[in-house]
Amino acid sequence: MREGLRSVGLNRSCPNRDGESLLTVPGGRADTGASAGKSGMLEELRARIHALERGRHFLASPVSTSDPPDGAKKAWTLGAEALDRHIGAGLDLASLHEVKAERRESGALAGAWGAAIGFALRLAVRRLCSVDTAQGASMHVLWCWPSFLARELGVPYGHGLASMGIEPSAWLFAETARPAEALWAMEEGLRSRSLALVVGILDEAELTPARRLSLAAAEHLTPCLIVTDPRLSPAGSTATRWRVGVRSSAQHVRDAAAPGATRFGVTLERCRHRPITREPVPYLLEWSDETYRFRMAASVADRAHGPRAAVAHSG
């Protein structure tokens, strides 16, 4: 009886409510080797669990690695090695990501929005840097927002985008009358599968719209980035959530009176594939206009892992 059970291959688990198999467990024979069989089964189960996290679209094939199309496979990273190691292989190219400004008890909110949008714009630059145009991948970014936010926050300036390394012609702007229409435009953009990135500036992404964006990003292998009001609740179904604050710029290398590299205080509040078990650690990042990448601020890079220096107080 035991030998008979060993030779039986269990091909499918219990189906879900759509009649699809959630997991495919590889069948095998006893003579293939117990250790090899267990190793292969574990690898396939890991792939299936990863696929479940990414959306039901990836359950169609026996083993899915959820790779984006050729030309978009290069990792979407920030460029700061310490932070990139923390999030793994980079930002997920088939998921929803959220950027929120630091919470403020009082004061003008425009500066907080500016920091979050500035960080998101630089993430878009990093995304376009990861696209291989030789493979025919798209270099276009869809930017969606309701008109009341466009009037309040201002429209991106073409020359400013060019100075950041983004061709203004790569941007497609969709300004809508209502937030619901902006969400619809974002979802349709993701479904077109002809964009490198979809960006949404919204007051809030509630559970159902956020879930729809997450599923569309996973199904059509297009990343989605949303910037939301810091005073409102975070969106659900996000792969990462970043909390961004304004920081003083670095000192200019040639003129002490001039502003240097732009700096952000960045906290990774959520990372789906690497759950955060402790209080999130803030990073001080600065943006390089020459290399189009983030880096740890020079003032903290050398002592990021060192002991805190004692502070002397004068009497």
Residues 47 and 181 in one domain: no
For the segment 4-23, the average pLDDT, to the nearest whole number, is 42
Tell me what percent of the residues of the chain surpass a pLDDT of 70: 72
Residues 110 and 213 in one domain: yes
Look at residue 140 and tell me if it is in a domain.
Answer: yes
Residues 54 and 22 in one domain: yes
What's the pLDDT at 196?
95
Alpha-carbon span 253 to 35, nearest angstrom: 59
Residues 158 and 288 in one domain: yes
The pLDDT of residue 309 is above 50: no
Q: Confidence class of residue 35 from pLDDT cuts 50, 70 and 90?
A: low
For the segment 196-200, the average pLDDT, to the nearest whole number, is 97
The pLDDT of residue 76 is above 90: yes
Q: Confidence class of residue 103 from pLDDT cuts 50, 70 and 90?
A: confident
DSSP states of the chain as a string?
A: -HHHHHT-------B-TTS-BS--PPP--GGG-HHHHHHHHHHHHHHHHHHHHH-GGGGSSSS---PPPTTS-S-B--S-HHHHHHHSSSB-TTSEEEEEEPP-SSS-SHHHHHHHHHHHHHHHHHHHHT--GGGT----EEEEEEHHHHHHH-PPPHHHHHHTT--GGGEEEEEESSHHHHHHHHHHHHHHT--SEEEEE-S---HHHHHHHHHHHHHHT--EEEEE-TTSPPPSS-SEEEEEEE-PPPBPSS-TTSB-S-EEEEEEEEETTS---SPPPEEEEEEETTTTEEEE-HHHHTTTTSPPPPPP---
Alpha-carbon span 54 to 131, nearest angstrom: 21
Lowest model confidence (mean pLDDT) among 62-66, 111-115, 299-303? 62-66
Structural domains counted in the chain: 2
Residues 130 and 16 in one domain: no
What's the pLDDT at 306?
44
Look at residue 52 and tell me if it is in a domain.
Answer: yes
Residues 109 and 144 in one domain: yes
Alpha-carbon span 181 to 186, nearest angstrom: 9
Residues 53 and 97 in one domain: no
Q: What is the mean pLDDT of the chain?
A: 78
Residues 179 and 129 in one domain: yes
Look at residue 309 and tell me if it is in a domain.
Answer: no
Look at residue 92 and tell me if it is in a domain.
Answer: yes
Nearest to 281 by CA among 269, 272, 271: 269
Q: Confidence class of residue 1 from pLDDT cuts 50, 70 and 90?
A: very low
Whether 139 contacts 131, CB under 8 Å: yes
Lowest model confidence (mean pLDDT) among 115-124, 262-271, 282-291, 297-306? 297-306
Residues 20 and 144 in one domain: no
Look at residue 311 and tell me if it is in a domain.
Answer: no
What's the pLDDT at 48?
67
Residues 17 and 114 in one domain: no
Residues 292 and 227 in one domain: yes
Q: Which residues pair with 173 in a beta bridge?
A: 143
214-245: per-residue pLDDT in tens?
999 999 999 999 999 999 999 999 999 999 99
Crossing angle of the two packed helices 207-220 and 179-192, in degrees rounded to 10: 20
Q: Confidence class of residue 65 from pLDDT cuts 50, 70 and 90?
A: very low
Lowest model confidence (mean pLDDT) among 63-72, 93-102, 104-113, 188-197? 63-72
Look at residue 226 and tell me if it is in a domain.
Answer: yes
CA dihedral 278, 205, 118, 168 (to 10 degrees): 140
Look at residue 67 and tell me if it is in a domain.
Answer: no
CATH number of domain containing 176: 3.40.50.300
The pLDDT of residue 87 is above 90: no
Residues 46 and 111 in one domain: no
Q: Residue 87: which domain range?
A: 81-301
From residue 280, alpha-carbon distances to 113, 187, 233, 241, 242 in Å are 21, 30, 18, 11, 10
155-193: per-residue pLDDT in tens?
888 898 888 888 889 999 999 999 999 999 999 999 999
Higher local confidence (pLDDT), 125 or 41:
125
For the segment 293-311, the average pLDDT, to the nearest whole number, is 59
What's the pLDDT at 270?
93
Q: Confidence class of residue 137 from pLDDT cuts 50, 70 and 90?
A: confident
Q: Confidence class of residue 45 from pLDDT cuts 50, 70 and 90?
A: confident
What's the pLDDT at 51?
58
For the segment 109-130, the average pLDDT, to the nearest whole number, is 92
What's the pLDDT at 44?
75
Look at residue 177 and tell me if it is in a domain.
Answer: yes
